[in-house]
Amino acid sequence: MRPPTIIGRAPSLRFIAGTMAAALVFNFLPWAPNWPVPDMLAIVLVFWNIFLPSRIGLAPAWLLGLVMDVHQGVLLGQHALAYSILSYGAITLHRRIPDFQAWGQVAHLYPLFLVSLASVFAVRWMVEGLGPDSSLFIQPAAEALLWVFISRMIQLVLQRKSRPGRMRARKPVSPVKT
Amino acid sequence: MALSQSPPAFFRQGLSARIKLAIALTAAVAVMQLDRRFEIASPLRLGVSVILYPVSEALLLPRDFAYWAGERLQSVSQLANEVERLRDQETSNAQSLLLANQLRSDNENLRNLLNLKSSAFPESKAGEIRASLKDGLARKVLINLGHDQGLSVGDPVINSDGVVGQVSRVFPLTAEIRLLSDEQLFVPIFLPRSGVRGITQGNGQADEFRVRYVNLAAELEEGDTIVTSGLDGLYPAGLAVGRVSVVVPAAQGQFPTVIAIPTASVARYKEVLVILRNGGTGPAGLASSAPPAPVASGSSPASSANPSTPEAAIQRP
């Protein structure tokens, strides 16, 4: 069964940039280094690449990956690589994902996040000789589960924005007091 | 279902997604190569980090406020205890400081008499740990000192308990410290009780490190203190590094596995001291190759005069 789809105006560039900035801020929060905190930027990039594949492509993913590399103080380019793979996967899956229920979406996205994180660990292993840790399997699971939640949230916001009654529901302009 | 209502372009669809992916991957690998092999990517990193600096500092504000409030709300008795402890420490430190000053002037006189190059005491800068980097595989923290304060890559970092790590990357206002437990940091060390030299290597995950390339015949015990040997010319000799916690005896033809715990806990104190190598005329440990026996550990002078190098260890049965 096809879930209700969003029919409305394409979201503004400002809204898209706003979600990405919020995700970036989430990633910049001082998390403990060993927690498998989900990468919010990856989640948001996958969302936009699934729902707007023609507008968001690999370029923003690549550039934001570079920003993450600088912030984490790691070898430049590894997050750019991971986010590029992620975005490509999301674009490939963009026709399938919306047709699935929550668990079906998780089942699709877990391998995608896993491959993307594995590419980061592969780079670390090849360049620095560091083996992967347990977060390799836990973090993608957290990301896939959170993706379902985040995508519902963004869709909710977009539906609110595009509801026809919204204009009328707005408060009338108060008359100027004299 | 796609959000956008405008139909996709019919004729000019641009490059295919696969070609775009190939370009992105090639570019990412190219940037990695540039960052690793050449210094070309460092201005890029510097520029982005300068733009990010206010954002990341602003995000630390709520946490700093919580710390500040917590400090203010500490009870009076706790503060009184702390003050008393610090006074005691100061009294005991005053004695050793006096002794150290006396020894330093003696040392200088003797060096002058012998026409040796005087070992200048290196300059240092006090700073504070701001945040730990979110990287599961590396153990790094960020401090609030940077290039503007005279830091350079490779400067040793200590706190009141001993060696913390080493400066691994320098930005204008911040610097990245590789902790002792990071897998990529190696510090040459010396065990005063057994007179053995070795090199530390972090374990990556836990707050501990391994002691590698120790003498095969050495009798190590749990609780042995570890100090810097100063052989690298970076760390002044005799700084506390850690304490041996686990010793697994060597198998045939292998080095023993020695696990140790750092004395300097980063979790407890935020304050660190960066020893500036460029500030002084040279590192203190460079001029004297034999490490001075630390007074506190009570090692015999013979153990420090007869260091056993890994090569010697291999030849010994």
Q: How is residue B196 annotated by DSSP?
A: E
Looking up residue B275, the CATH number of its domain turns out to be 2.40.10.350
CB B169 within 8 A of CB A73: yes
Amino acid at position B113, single letter: L
With CB atoms and an 8 Å threshold, state whether A10 touches B31: no
Domain edge (last residue) among B34, B52, B72: B72
Q: A77 — contact with chain B (CB < 8 Å)? A: yes
Same domain, B182 and B57: no
| Segments making up each domain of chain A, as ranges | 13-161
CA distance A174 to chain B (A): 35
CA distance A30 to chain B (A): 7
Same domain, B66 and B136: no
Domain edge (last residue) among B52, B72, B92: B72
Domain edge (last residue) among B72, B102, B137: B72
Question: Where does chain A have alpha helices with state H?
Answer: 13-28, 40-51, 58-72, 78-92, 102-128, 135-162, 166-169
- What pLDDT score does A89 carry? 92
With CB atoms and an 8 Å threshold, state whether B3 touches A6: yes
More confident residue, B40 or B235: B235
Number of other CB atoms surrounding residue B222 within 10 Å: 12
Burial of A78 (0-12, 13-18, 19+ CB in 10 A): buried
Same domain, B145 and B267: yes
CA distance A54 to A60: 13
Does B109 fall in a domain? no
Same domain, B183 and B58: no
- The first and second tokens of residue B96, run together, are 């050793």
Does B251 fall in a domain? yes
Residues of A in contact with B15 (CB under 8 A): none
With CB atoms and an 8 Å threshold, state whether B3 touches A11: yes
Same domain, B142 and B228: yes
Q: Which residue has the tokens 């100090």?
A: B227
Is the pLDDT reported for residue B10 higher than 80? no
Number of other CB atoms surrounding residue A140 within 10 Å: 24
Same domain, B138 and B67: no
Of A2, A11, A75, the CB nearest to B36: A75
Which residues 3-62 in chain A show a CB within 8 A of chain B? 5-11, 25, 27-34, 36-37, 51-55, 57-59, 61-62
- What pLDDT score does B308 carry? 40
The chain B residue lying nearest A92, using CA atoms, is: B17
With CB atoms and an 8 Å threshold, state whether B35 touches A75: yes
Residues of B in contact with A86 (CB under 8 A): none
Which residues 86-115 in chain A show a CB within 8 A of chain B? 88, 91-92, 94, 98
Give the residue among B267, B224, B221, B263 at the shortest CA–CA distance from B242: B263
- What pLDDT score does B306 carry? 39
Does B293 fall in a domain? yes
CA torsion through residues B158, B159, B163, B164, sign: negative
Is the pLDDT reported for residue B294 higher than 50? no
- What pLDDT score does A175 carry? 64
- The first and second tokens of residue A24, run together, are 């970036």
**B121: confidence class by pLDDT, cuts 50, 70, 90:** low
CA distance B28 to A86: 14
Of A7, A88, A135, the CB nearest to B21: A88
Amino acid at position B232, single letter: D
- Architecture per CATH, A13-161: Orthogonal Bundle (1.10)
CA distance A67 to chain B (A): 7
The beta-strand segments (E) located in B106-208 are: 123-132, 140-143, 156-159, 162-170, 175-179, 186-191, 196-202
Q: Reduced to 3 states, what is the DSSP secondary structure of residue B240?
A: strand
| pLDDT tens track for A141-151 | 999 999 999 99
Same domain, B145 and B289: yes
CB B140 within 8 A of CB B176: yes
- What pLDDT score does A63 carry? 92
Does B1 fall in a domain? no
Same domain, B129 and B257: yes
Domain residues for the domain of B282 are 122-315
Amino acid at position B63, single letter: R
| pLDDT tens track for B181-228 | 888 888 999 888 888 888 998 887 678 888 888 877 778 888 888 998
Number of domains in chain B: 2
| ipTM score of complex | 0.79
Same domain, B238 and B175: yes
What is the greatest pairwise CA distance in chain B?
89
Same domain, B127 and B56: no
Residues of B in contact with A67 (CB under 8 A): 48, 52
More confident residue, B244 or B286: B244
Q: Reduced to 3 states, what is the DSSP secondary structure of residue B103?
A: helix
**B279: confidence class by pLDDT, cuts 50, 70, 90:** low
With CB atoms and an 8 Å threshold, state whether A77 touches B60: no
Same domain, B144 and B35: no
With CB atoms and an 8 Å threshold, state whether A75 touches B28: no
Does B106 fall in a domain? no
The mean predicted confidence, pLDDT, of chain A is: 83
Overall average pLDDT of the A87-103 stretch? 89
Is the pLDDT reported for residue A113 higher than 90? yes
Does B107 fall in a domain? no
Residue of B1, B38, B203 best to disrupt the A interface, most CBs of A under 10 A: B1
CA distance B262 to B266: 9
Dihedral (Cα; B180, B185, B188, B191), 10-degree rounding: 30
Same domain, B135 and B254: yes
